[in-house]
Amino acid sequence: MNTMLAGFVKAPFGFEMREVPIPDVRDDWALVKVDACGICGTDMHYANHLATEWQGFGHEVAGVVMSVGAGITHVKEGDRVVLESGSYCGTCEQCRNGRSDLCPRGKNFWQNPTMGFAEYILAPRECLVPYSGLTPEVACLTEPIGVAVDMVRVADIALGDEVLMFGLGPIGLMAIPLARMRGAARVYAANRSGGRRAQVAAAFGADEVILTRDNPLTPGHFRKGGVDRALVSASVEAIGQAMPLMRYGGILSFIGIQYGDGARISFDANDFHFKKLQLRASHAAPALYFPQVLDLLRDGHVDGNQLISHVMPLAKLPEAMALVRDHREEVLKVVITP
Ligand SMILES: [Zn+2]
Ligand SMILES: [Zn+2]
């Protein structure tokens, strides 16, 4: 009863499932029993590159509060919560100037010995967001949908915009209904290959799904000779491919992590200048908008169940990671349940 199963990762692509002590509750921290934790592209980067030592991982968490430290009053034992993967402090210069989205000092659980791929997780007060009315599997999508919300906000989509969503991983798929709600007149969804991702893109409101492997993107493909907004959740090369598709005054929002020598962005500087384009990075740290996302899920504006392709037990975490790595076309969100 005093130990729990927890997953550990070490690059390149090593995993261990260990029995470790259940963490002790501290003043401003709560012990949360994990009900569901999604696998994310970031987990892949830890497995492939970032985890130079064995470490815990998993940051898309829905669970139940088991016990709270003395400093926590907004949730109590038995409450269902989703966890911000990083919060904001409320006291730094950026927070006090109304820019909590730029807070560099928010609490998080990334330094814990174990994280969301475990039976229990210790989470700081600021990260605990109560929820109800959703299954844990769907609720754990709150964190990645917040990432998609940030990408769509950064792109400043306005009423009547023609929008290209480039890259149909889970984040790209989540962004499609959000772009529609922001007022996009037409949403083009582009992905290298088809399969399940293309199907969900259409179900989520994409007007057209373009498979770039057979159909390289050219301005002539678009009814207005290009798009007003591009959302890129793909490799960095995709930015260079999307730039020539932008209409006058277009904004391109990019989210993606790529390490190594390939991580250089290049595009035509004259085109960029004369077309008055903007390239903006989206990075949802701190993780904001959780209450809004929970409402979007509950109201069915984003159909969480369609995003989940696999639910697997914690003991099968290594197999689940391999599944995500090896079957990109058929895998959407893989959710781990202890
Ligand atoms: Zn994530
Ligand atoms: Zn702050």
- Which CATH number covers residue 260? 3.40.50.720
Residues with CB under 5 A from ligand 1 (ion): 40, 42
| 150 within domain boundaries | no
| 151 within domain boundaries | no
Q: Assess whether 17 and 121 both reside in one domain.
A: yes
Residue 231 contacts residue 179 (beta carbons within 8 Å):
yes
pLDDT average, residue stretch 101-114: 96
**How many helices (H) and strands (E) are present in the chain, helices listed first?**
11, 16
Quickly state the pLDDT bin for 256 (edges 50, 70, 90).
Answer: confident
- Could you write out the three-class secondary structure of 48-95? HHHCCCCEECCCEEEEEEEEECCCCCCCCCCCEEEECCCCCCCCCHHH
Last residue of a domain, one of 236, 264, 281: 281
Could you read off the pLDDT of 117-131 as tens digits, one per residue?
999 999 999 999 999
Residue 306 has φ and ψ, to the nearest 5°, of: -70, -20
| 277 within domain boundaries | yes
Residues 6+ apart with CB under 8 A from 145: 174, 293, 296, 297, 302
More confident residue, 263 or 321: 321
One-character DSSP codes across 12-34: TTEEEEEEEEPPPP-TTEEEEEE
Between the CA of 297 and the centroid of ligand 1 the distance, in Å, is: 17
Last residue of a domain, one of 237, 253, 281: 281
Residue 187 has φ and ψ, to the nearest 5°, of: -120, 120
Q: Assess whether 23 and 98 both reside in one domain.
A: yes
Quickly state the pLDDT bin for 235 (edges 50, 70, 90).
Answer: confident
Structural domain harbouring 191: 156-281
pTM: 0.96
Alpha-carbon radius of gyration of the chain: 20
Place of tokens 């493909």: 221
Q: For position 329, what pLDDT does the model report? A: 80
Q: Assess whether 85 and 42 both reside in one domain.
A: yes
Q: Assess whether 8 and 139 both reside in one domain.
A: yes
Q: For position 318, what pLDDT does the model report? A: 98
Could you read off the pLDDT of 151-181 as tens digits, one per residue?
999 999 999 999 999 999 999 999 999 999 9
Q: For position 257, what pLDDT does the model report? A: 73
| 204 within domain boundaries | yes
Between the CA of 91 and the centroid of ligand 2 the distance, in Å, is: 5
pLDDT average, residue stretch 43-57: 94
Between the CA of 41 and the centroid of ligand 1 the distance, in Å, is: 6
Between the CA of 92 and the centroid of ligand 2 the distance, in Å, is: 4
Residue 200 has φ and ψ, to the nearest 5°, of: -70, -35
Last residue of a domain, one of 250, 281, 312: 281
Q: Assess whether 139 and 167 both reside in one domain.
A: no
Q: For position 330, what pLDDT does the model report? A: 87
- Could you write out the three-class secondary structure of 136-154? HHHHCCHHHHHHHHHHHHH
Q: Assess whether 271 and 293 both reside in one domain.
A: no
Between the CA of 60 and the centroid of ligand 1 the distance, in Å, is: 6
Quickly state the pLDDT bin for 264 (edges 50, 70, 90).
Answer: confident
- Whether pLDDT at 262 is above 90: no
- Whether pLDDT at 207 is above 90: yes
pLDDT average, residue stretch 75-93: 97
Q: Assess whether 36 and 164 both reside in one domain.
A: no
Q: Assess whether 275 and 240 both reside in one domain.
A: yes
Quickly state the pLDDT bin for 36 (edges 50, 70, 90).
Answer: very high
The C-alpha atoms of residue 110 and residue 114 are separated, in whole angstroms, by: 8
Between the CA of 286 and the centroid of ligand 2 the distance, in Å, is: 9
